[in-house]
């Protein structure tokens, strides 16, 4: 079976990571080909190195013109895929239209977002979402939502309810696994004492991630745990981010916050943390929570998307945009950390939950089942 994946870009993002894991998982009966509308980025060489044919069209962000549809149409006519799997709003629209024009009858849309509001999402994204809702009756055979929360939200926007299939993200538990030595290397690099309480967030600098709420919460935490350290990893979490540095300074956290920027050793970073915090105000299925848990790192999360579903009873869940409650949960977690056996049990439970509910193998099997379906 030939599966063509159409995605807006291959930068460092959650959906892009899922596509990479899906395409590189051993599945000899499937040939995967990836077309990215944007320029070369993080996952393009990684996909090629793994043997996945990958093409980047180099279109400017937001310039999804009729010309893009024509280029995709020609490529799809050449490859004659059995399935066209599109990823995210703009490519659902443009790729879906191109696929139908090219005669592809099995078009599967992918949704990896839950909130579309001014200030967080651009006007063009909101317009494209409305167009997709209108076309969802006719263009896709099925619509894959990465979370039940994403399904509910998009049904509310007017997407065709009968076409939804929920496929939770799956994770490489052989890559994301407990590794105290790897974590110790990161702590040594940062000059953090091995016994210091370490809280962290892996996520790009973006309004959805709500770093301001995390920093406000952490300022409260250090009042109780003066030796606590905060690690921020992700695109934009760097010393040259003046807005982020100003927030750190305003909260008096200059000596307690470490800005790592984009990293290629996320499993090691997760192992350096005692607690991973998701402070987001909007998510669908937050990958970083599952990745942290797979490493045996307990999580404190805001109640957004399917975050609470992921952690189950292995972590703490608080309302979004509430620094006081977020701080309270972190403090509670740090207090439990002092009980070695209890903390070890929680760490084990976190990893076991990912192994049993969100393995990569299960995700791949679920995608295969969707691709084997045809329109009703």
Tell me what pLDDT residue 367 has: 98
Tell me what pLDDT residue 195 has: 96
Nearest partner of 9 among 55, 65, 48, 66, judged by Cα:
55
Tell me what pLDDT residue 90 has: 93
The full set of domains in the chain, from first to last, is 2-170+359-372 (3.40.50.2000), 180-357 (3.40.50.2000)
Kindly state the tokens that stand for 201: 């967030």
Kindly state the tokens that stand for 57: 């069209």
> Do 146 and 111 meet the contact criterion of CB atoms below 8 Å apart?
yes
CA-to-CA separations, 58 to 8, 53, 64, 250, in angstroms, rounded: 10, 16, 11, 40
CA distance 20 to 14: 10
Tell me what pLDDT residue 64 has: 59
CA distance 70 to 166: 31
Q: Which are the contacts of 14, defined by CB distance < 8 A and separation ≥ 6?
A: 112, 169, 284, 285, 286, 287
CA distance 219 to 223: 7
Q: In sequence order, what E strands does the chain have?
A: 2-7, 31-36, 53-56, 83-87, 107-111, 142-145, 164-166, 198-202, 229-233, 257-261, 275-278, 299-302, 316-318
pLDDT single digits (tens) 301-342: 999 989 999 999 999 999 999 999 999 999 999 999 999 999
pLDDT single digits (tens) 170-220: 999 999 999 999 999 999 999 999 999 999 999 999 999 999 999 999 999
Tell me what pLDDT residue 274 has: 99
CA distance 228 to 199: 7
> Do 97 and 67 meet the contact criterion of CB atoms below 8 Å apart?
no
pTM (two decimals)? 0.84
- pLDDT > 90? residue 234: yes
Report CA Rg, the chain. Answer: 21
How many Cβ atoms are within 10 Å of 179's Cβ, its own excluded? 16
Tell me what pLDDT residue 124 has: 83
Q: Looking at per-residue confidence, does 258 or 373 come out higher?
A: 258
Kindly state the tokens that stand for 348: 């084990």
130: exposed, middle or buried (Cβ count in 10 Å: 0-12, 13-18, 19+) = middle
- pLDDT > 60? residue 119: no
User: Which range among 113-117, 156-160, 264-268, 300-304 shows the weakest confidence by mean pLDDT?
Assistant: 113-117
pLDDT single digits (tens) 30-86: 999 999 999 999 999 999 999 999 999 998 765 556 888 899 999 999 999 999 999
Tell me what pLDDT residue 126 has: 87
């Amino acid at each position: 079976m030939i599966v063509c994946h159409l995605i807006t870009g291959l930068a460092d993002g959650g959906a892009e990571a899922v596509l990479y894991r899906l395409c590189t998982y051993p599945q000899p009966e499937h040939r995967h080909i990836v077309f990215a509308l944007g320029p070369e980025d993080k996952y393009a060489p990684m996909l090629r190195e793994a043997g996945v044919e990958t093409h980047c069209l180099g279109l400017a962000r937001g310039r999804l013109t009729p010309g893009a549809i024509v280029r995709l149409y020609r490529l799809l006519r050449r490859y004659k895929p059995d399935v066209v799997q599109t990823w995210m709003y703009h490519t659902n629209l443009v790729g879906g239209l191109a696929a139908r024009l090219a005669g592809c009858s099995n078009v599967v849309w992918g949704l990896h977002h839950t909130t579309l509001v001014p200030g967080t999402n651009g006007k063009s994204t909101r317009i494209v979402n409305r167009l997709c809702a209108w076309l969802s009756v006719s263009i896709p055979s099925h619509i894959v939502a990465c979370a039940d929360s994403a399904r509910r939200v998009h049904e509310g926007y007017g997407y065709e309810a009968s076409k939804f299939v929920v496929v939770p993200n799956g994770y490489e538990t052989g890559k994301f696994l407990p590794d105290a030595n790897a974590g110790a290397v990161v702590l040594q690099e940062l000059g953090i004492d091995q016994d210091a309480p370490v809280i962290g967030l892996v996520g790009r600098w973006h309004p959805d991630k709500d770093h301001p709420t995390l920093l406000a919460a952490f300022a409260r935490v250090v009042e109780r745990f003066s030796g606590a350290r905060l690690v921020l990893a992700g695109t934009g979490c760097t010393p040259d981010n003046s807005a982020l540095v100003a927030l750190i300074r305003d909260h008096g956290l200059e000596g307690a916050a470490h800005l790592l920027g984009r990293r290629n050793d996320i499993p090691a970073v997760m192992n350096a943390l005692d607690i991973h915090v998701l402070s987001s105000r909007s998510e669908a299925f937050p990958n970083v929570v599952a990745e942290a848990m797979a490493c045996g790192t307990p999580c404190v999360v805001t109640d957004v998307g399917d975050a609470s579903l992921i952690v189950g009873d292995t972590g703490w869940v608080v309302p979004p945009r509430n620094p006081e409650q977020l701080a309270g949960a972190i403090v509670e977690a740090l207090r439990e950390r002092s009980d070695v056996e209890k903390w070890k049990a929680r760490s084990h439970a976190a990893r076991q939950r990912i192994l049993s509910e969100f393995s990569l193998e299960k995700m791949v099997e679920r995608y295969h089942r969707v691709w084997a379906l045809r329109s009703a």
